Amino acid sequence: MTPVPLDHELIGPDGAPVLVLGGSLGTNRSLWDPQVDALARHMRILRFDHRGHGRLPAPPGPYAIGDLGRDVLALLDRHGLARVSYCGLSLGGMIGMWLAAHAPDRIDRLVLCCTTARFDSPDPWLDRARQVRAAGTGSIAGPVVARWFTPAFAEAAPDVVRRHAGMLAATDDEAYAGCCEAIAAMDLRPLLPSISAPTLVLAAEHDQAIPPAHGRAIAEAIPGARPHLLAEGAHLATAEVAGEVNAEIRRHLMLEV
């Protein structure tokens, strides 16, 4: 499949190293606002929307993780970026593993947050793709977003939860379904031992969408990877426990803390 142009922005000081931020399924690049505020002083930040997750259209699915990875490589080429660090959450992390294995010369350091190399069964993802094609992303927003945050955070920060639910409901139905099919077919486990980029694996204790055991498995399979368990927070830990996430990213990227 031909790479799809991605809606994106590149900000930060000229000449600084570049950090690419890849978000979760059903969110847009504003997901990363808490990280951009903390990191843009030290790095150039390239954050993007997955195909069909921003203002640009997407082709019909199904997709493969490699298709989404090649979208990112085309974006790097568009900006003449030969080598970058990459941080991905959930689907963004899946793409990060694919990139680090298939284009190791392009990835300097890698951060994987609340993600997995493989789900136990493809069926829930195929069911979700069918549901979204039939009734739209709004039809799944309630149960999906309920697993993105802990109940205590959802009660304390309802505006944050509503904003992220709005991102999901605004995602193109076909693009969302195509990404579900990519996740259903994915098995990145054979690639993990070949990843040479220094890797940080973040998992959240209360993540119901991708429990911490998935992060442990990734960290055990990537040579030299450093695992870190976030004792608070759920799937969208980048929003719920942004301070700890940002501190770990800065430490891994060897930035001034």
Residue 1 falls inside a structural domain: no
Q: What CA–CA distance (Å, rounded) separates 211 from 111? A: 17
Residue 141 falls inside a structural domain: yes
What's the pTM value of the predicted model, to 2 decimals? 0.97
Mean pLDDT of the chain: 96
Residue 2 falls inside a structural domain: no
Residue 3 falls inside a structural domain: no
* pLDDT single digits (tens) 112-121: 999 999 999 9
Q: Are 183 and 208 in contact (CB under 8 A)?
A: no
Q: What is the pLDDT along the chain (257 residues), one digit of tens a residue?
A: 799 999 999 999 999 999 999 999 999 999 999 999 889 988 999 999 999 998 888 999 899 999 999 999 999 999 999 999 999 999 999 999 999 999 999 999 999 999 999 999 999 999 999 999 999 999 999 999 999 999 999 999 999 999 999 999 999 999 999 999 999 999 999 999 999 999 999 999 999 999 999 999 999 999 999 999 999 999 999 999 999 999 999 999 988 64
For residue 245, give the CATH number of its domain. 3.40.50.1820
Q: Which domain holds residue 25?
A: 8-252
Residue 257 falls inside a structural domain: no
Q: How many CA atoms lie within 13 Å of 17's alpha carbon, on the beta-carbon side?
A: 15
Q: Are 174 and 133 in contact (CB under 8 A)?
A: yes
Residue 72 falls inside a structural domain: yes
Q: Is the peptide bond before 62 cis (omega within 30 degrees of 0)?
A: yes
Residue 50 falls inside a structural domain: yes
Structural domain total, the chain: 1
Pair of tokens at residue 144: 């999906």
The residue behind tokens 């790479």 is 3
Residue 33 falls inside a structural domain: yes
